[in-house]
Amino acid sequence: MTKKNNNTCEITGKAHGEFANGKDEFAYNNFMVSRMFTAVNIAMGDDGYKAKEVLENFKQLIKMSDEKYQEQVKYYG
């Protein structure tokens, strides 16, 4: 995964920050996204196309307000 710039997390769009446990937020998010990408590929026997689609949807969900997210849950589960 690539980042937008040296100080911005690809998922949240927020600047680097420290978690309470001292781990870098950007590194942690990229760690999780990489594993999610691979999990989707394994589950679907995919070459990466569906995984990319799932990750893009996930990024959009992360950026949504709680109200907008609940609207998506209403329609898609």
Find the helix packing angle between 25-44 and 49-63, rounded to 10°.
140
Q: What are the extents of the domains in the chain?
A: 1-77
Q: Is the pLDDT assigned to residue 1 strictly greater than 50? A: no
Note the pLDDT of residue 29.
74
Convert the pLDDT of each residue in 11-54 to its tens digit: 666 655 555 455 666 677 777 788 888 888 888 887 878 888 88
Q: Which neighbouring-strand residues pair with 8?
A: 5, 15
Judged by DSSP in three states, 8 sits in strand
Is 14 in contact with 8 (CB distance < 8 Å)? Answer: yes
